[in-house]
Each structure stands twice: as structure tokens, then as C-alpha cells.
A = this chain, B = another copy of it.
Amino acid sequence: MTGDLFWPGDERAGDLFGAEGFLVALTGVEEAWLNALVSAGIAPPAAAAQLSDLVGPADVEPIALAAEAGGNPVIALVKILRERLGERNPTAASWLHQGLTSQDVVDTALIRCSFEVLDRLRREFTGQVGALRALSDTHRGTLMAGRTLTQFAVPITFGLKAAVWLQGILDAAETARDVRHGLRSQFGGAAGTMAATVELADRTDRAESAGWRDPARRAENVIAEASRRLGLATAPPWHTSRAPITRIGDALVGCNDAWGRLATDVITLSRPEIAEVSEPTGAGRGTSSTMPQKRNPILSTLIRRSAWTAPMLGAQLHLAAAEAGDERPAGAWHTEWATLRTLARTTVVAASQTTELLVGLQVDPLRMFTTLEAASPGILAERLKPGPIGAELDDPSNDAEDNRLDPRSYLGTSELTIDATLARAEKFLLLEG
């Protein structure tokens, strides 16, 4: 099923962190582990196997239905994999899932799905940074009214506004990048001791004539190899130390903050009484069911929707982290999967909508200037405020020649801010683009 009646635009996330994608990721973890057992010499060469073709979309529903009994989908998945694998490679089937616990498989799969999401975000950010770089540079001289607490403040340029949006996006994108680089696998076994794997390694050691007797190191080699196959870094077990999950959550929420903040501006500036920017048009985009004149700012509307819901989802992950008691928790962990799924998918949707919004944003410099003129001279009252600051500076001859009513001369460091932001964007694109 693609699309969600309750969350228009959901299809933009495709199958990222969807049910099928999760099933693929879970299977991929089992496969990486199985083959890492072989690589480490614990399982015999005959146990090597590919699993990815053993399950498909049709398995999602039966596995989901079987998941409640054990509280997660891994038991049912392993049962199916073992049956099907057993038909063509009984040795592999007998080694499947040896040494793992359900949480290892679910957590590492969540990380894999998160990697794909963060990688998609990387591409969206590249597009957004490119679009904003152009907007900021193009409009560095486009005067408009600066507004604070909704009222006219002092003049700015639209280029500066775009640069501020860009800073927010770079803050978010850099954090997302760091999180992507730091993703860790989770392999701990039943209670974080890897005891079963070490025992298997011990059997191998005994069986080997040469007798390298360090089964714990050998178990760590399995973890390293399985992680390598999955493209992830290793770490000590984090069954109950959930920073690897909350960091993803915080980064995704941070993305929504940046997009929500600019969508808030677009919503305001595209009000018909202001009309300084407008959303890109498209077939049927922004229409009403009854009012033919309507052109609703629907991208910004949907982006804000995401920004209003992301913070609570991020908080939910923190709450789970705080409750992660014992060696593996009862309930706190179980809240994370759907929460992270929803947060990840809605973030991707908002990312895509933001890219589209920024690439096609229509700016009306004339209207901006008209508003600014109408707001004058009040909008320059800060500058005009009466009274000397220091007598020595208050030489009337200076004032005589100056241009206190020209907003162009009251833009302060705007150009410097734009330049610094564009340079930062350039660097980001070099690294990530």
C-alpha cells in the first residue's frame, strides 16, 4: 500500500522505514550474522547463505500477526527463515540466529532503516542548500520589511532571510550527517553478554588443532564482521543505553525545526494581504473542494504539520530511554519502533516537500518593496531615534549629508552574514553533495 489517507504526501517516503523495508532489514541482519559466524570460523563454510530471497512482501502480514505472542516480529521471522532455508541448506538453517537475541535483530534493523532515511535526507538537504544558496545570492539586494513579533521592525533583504533559513538547514543537516556517520550495530545476545556466541566460539577453539584459545575475541570478530557487512560501526551492547536511538530522533526533530521555521515564514508571506512570496504551482496543487479562486499554501501547510508533530515523537524516544531498565526492558523498548518509523517517514515527507517548496518558491521583489515603502518612515524609527549617543559623534555635518531615509543604507552586516552562510553552504555541498 502506498500513500496514507491520514497523512497526505506519505508516498514521498516510498518504502523507507516501511513494513517491507523493515522486513528486508531484519532479514539482512540475520544474514550478516550468519555469514559472519562462517567468516570467523565458528560456523562451518557450508552454513554460508543468502537469505534475502527467502522472504517477500507476502510475508509481512503473517509475521506481523504472529508478532504479538513474543512481543516482536523476530521469532516468527526466524521460524519462517529456518523452515525455508532448511529445505535447501539444513546446515545454514541450524546456524541461523545462533547467538542473537530478538532485540539485536530489531535494533540493528532499525539502525539500517535509519541509515537509509538519513541518506535520503542527505540528498534532500543537498537540493535545499542549493536552492537557498541561489535564493540568498540572487536576492541579496532585494529589500523587504523585517518583522519582529509580527510588526515592522527595520529593513532587511530577502537574501538575508534566505540565508537565515539556510543556516537553520545547515545546522540540521550537519547534525544529521554526524549521526549518520556514527550509526552503530547492536549485538549483545540474551542479556548483553554474548555468552551464546562465546560458547560457540569456544567449541570451535577446542575443535581446532592449533588451539587459539580466546573465544571472547573471536565473538567480537563476529560482531565486527557482521557490522562491516551492514555498513555500520560496532559498539558495546546498548540494549538499555539508548543514546544511539535518541540521537537519531533528536536529529530528525531538528530537521523538522528548520523546515517548520521557514514554512512558517512562507505561510505568513503568502497571505493575500502580504503576498511577497508564493508556493510553486502544480496540477491541482492547493485547490479547494468548492472555492475555485483558492490557491492554498499546501506544501508549507504540510511541512508545518510535520514540524508540530516531530517534537513529541522525539520526546517519546527519550522517555523510552529513561525507562530502559533491567538487561532489556518491558515496554519502553516496544514503544520505539513505531515512534521512530513515524518520525522517520514524516521527516522524509517534509524533507521532500521542503525541497520542492524551495526550488520553486516564487518571490515578488516589487511587492516586498511596496510593503517596505508603506512601512516607512516608521520602519526606520530605530535609526531616527532622537538624542545624542556621544556628543563627539553627533556632528550635524555628518547628519546633513546622510541618507537616513534610504533603507538600502541601513542593512548592517546583512551582506557579511549572507557571504558567511554561502561559504558554509559551499563547504557542506563539497562534503555531502
Contact = CB atoms under 8 A, between A and B. Distances in A.
A318 B2 contact: no
A286 B295 CA distance: 34
A352 to B, nearest CB: 10
Interface stretch (A8-16, A117-125, A127-135): A8-16
Contact of A100 (B22, B43, B290, B319): B290
A368 to B, nearest CB: 12
Interface string A384-422: 010111101101001000000000001111111100110
A67 B286 CA distance: 10
A293 B237 contact: no
A417 B290 contact: no
B5 A19 contact: yes
7 contacts: A1-B60, A149-B329, A155-B191, A164-B237, A257-B321, A261-B322, A291-B382
Interface in A309-325: 309-316, 318-325
Contacts of A337: 5-7
A146 interface: yes
> Taking each of A7, A65, A190, which has the highest tally of chain B beta carbons within 10 Å of its own beta carbon?
A190
Contact of A311 (B97, B319, B385): B319
Nearest to A328: B148
Interface stretch (A225-233, A268-276, A358-366): A268-276
Given A297-B150, A309-B335, A390-B43, A318 B253 contact: yes
Interface in A299-353: 300-305, 307-316, 318-332, 334-335, 337-339, 341-342
A95 interface: yes
A417 to B, nearest CB: 5
5 residue pairs, one from A and one from B, having the closest CB atoms = A3-B64, A146-B191, A260-B322, A195-B412, A264-B325
A246 B254 contact: yes
Contact of A421 (B6, B236, B314): B236
Given A307-B322, A324-B261, A325-B268, A94 B236 contact: no
Given A287-B69, A382-B292, A389 B257 contact: no
Interface in A24-63: 43-44, 47, 60-61, 63
A167 B237 CA distance: 9
Contact of A417 (B236, B246, B312, B415): B236
Contact of A153 (B69, B328, B410): B328
Interface in A227-257: 236-243, 246-247, 250, 253-254, 256-257
Nearest to A157: B193
> Taking each of A258, A298, A310, which has the highest tally of chain B beta carbons within 10 Å of its own beta carbon?
A298
A89 interface: no
Given A64-B4, A382-B290, A219 B322 contact: no
Interface in A195-213: 195-200, 203-204, 206-207
A405 to B, nearest CB: 13
A9 B69 CA distance: 9
Nearest to A386: B292
A237 B286 CA distance: 23
B323 A308 contact: yes
Interface string A157-188: 00011011001100110010000000000000
B199 A3 contact: no
A194 interface: yes
Contacts of A318: 253-254, 256-257, 310-311, 314
B147 A389 contact: no
A71 interface: yes
